[in-house]
Structure 1
Amino acid sequence: MFTGLSAFPLTPMNEQGVREDEFSNLVERLAKAQVDSIGVLGSTGSYAYLSREARTRVTQLAVSSAGNVPVIIGIGALRTRDVLALAEDAQKAGASGVLLAPVSYQKLTDDEVFSHYETVCRSLSVPLCVYDNPGTTHFTFSDELHGRIAHLPQVRSIKVPPVSTDINAARERIARLRALIPEDVTMGISGDAVASTGLIAGCDSWYSVVGGLFPETALAITRAAQAGDAQTVQRLSDRLEPFWVLYREFGGSLRVIATVAEILGKVSTPCLPLPLNTLQGNQRNRVEQVIEQLDLR
């Protein structure tokens, strides 16, 4: 479950609620493509904007739509007690695993983050992936803290932030962290634009935003990495460079992938929770041009 391609779909919504049919269609498409796991209610899934009840419903829809593909549910929240409730909901709904980021308003200390994970792990019967995403949580894990947390029961993977584009630097970074964690804990790369480097450098999985909309494209890169074909991995990723440029220009992957989903009719407009908006005007035209250039469908 924590190796290969973990595809993270959008949670399409408007101010009245989640567009359930559209969400189910996205998950069914991932299951049909036979991704290795489906990551629901991560940052791409806009978990922080949803109530507990809405998150439970999304979890139920995901599990029922995913067939035999494992579903990993994001359970991040500001308070530990809320994370525990979300973990219970996810397990009752049939989630195969959970994904936890140290969400906070006040800056957390290392000991507070460790205690947070320790408490949650005691309540779990499914494996947990540590979600290291300083861009949204504003908390930076040290390698030493990762090592402490990785030895907790139920922890089976670390979703690491983007690595250096320099392959030697990326290998050194992965090796440093690998030396501190148990052998049965996998490392997965996030950050689509550098996923190829992370996979070549030794990551076990790709936690992928683009894979949530274009699973076949992401699977081709992942399978080449698993076969040890670094040349093909890099070639396939380089072909998507116009897409990665959009990420860099427009502030990350969420707005870009949501805009693409709207343009292709995979979701209705609007699909993001206010105050978030998809790209409009000249920026949207740029996205349309890249979709046509890369023949993405």
Structure 2
Amino acid sequence: MQFIWDSDTLMMPSRPLSDLTWLRVGGPADRLFLPRSEAELAAGLAALEATVPVFPLGMGSNLIVRDGGIRGMVVKLGRGFNHVEIDGEFVTAGAAALDSQVARRAAAAGVDLTFLRTIPGAIGGAVRMNAGCYGRYVADYLVSVRAITREGDPATLSASDLAFGYRHSTLPDGWVLVEATFRAPAGLDPEVLEKAMEDQIARRDATQPTRDRTAGSTFRNPSGASSTGRADDVHDLKAWRLIEAAGMKGARLGGAQMSPKHANFLVNTGDANAADLEALGELVRKRVFETSGIALEWEIMRVGDPAD
């Protein structure tokens, strides 16, 4: 197909990204590409100069875009990639489908992917970071994914090809996930699954600052280093405990704050920029290391350039 770079329905130059992330911070992308179909995505990647980096952007729910913005092309998938299809115990979802939407659609069909209900963001990001909660992870259920390579070619990868680890998977630079297929227990009572999700939401809302502007857990739990990704759920060593012990719960820097409700949530109180958020996070890491000797690792992805 012919690809037209100057169509404003597909590609926007110097597009600010702050309104596309949950923390509402960040500078512009050199180019923001909004493909409406896999064909447009493939054509756009194939036409792009080989030296231009590609960054797939999902819901921006676990992301800090620095104030100087992102060099290269940011790809954001839209409605053409949010389908959900269920066939027995198999659930196939587009990369832009919300995790919560997939969980609810599956539950209505008697398929148990309820762990996705409280995970913010979309399926593409959930696969990339092996998202999980309450002892269940994407790696436990993923069968395969489809992607478009940096060169614009279709590719299919099995779950084992992604080499899942704790909050991690492997995917070549510039590849864009477009679809994922899961296999989960089926034939269950939809009402029981719906009740389980309601309980999860209540538990989350009671312990996390869900009404604040955050990006989910800021730092990885130090024990979460196993290849299964489960160690963090059974070990007592939690990032929030270390942050509290270091006296950093509720700490503020500019418009950034470590949540008074949950110490491992970084909050934009209203006027923070990316530099405030990242600097506060680094200060927390410094204080935790001074008090415990443990170096916390960021779970929030930080991308782009600082402001000049």
The answer, yes or no, to whether TM exceeds 0.5 is no
If each structure's strand is expressed as a fraction of its own residues, which one has the higher value? 2
If each structure's helix is expressed as a fraction of its own residues, which one has the higher value? 1
Tell me the TM-score normalized by structure 2.
0.28
Tell me the TM-score normalized by structure 1.
0.28
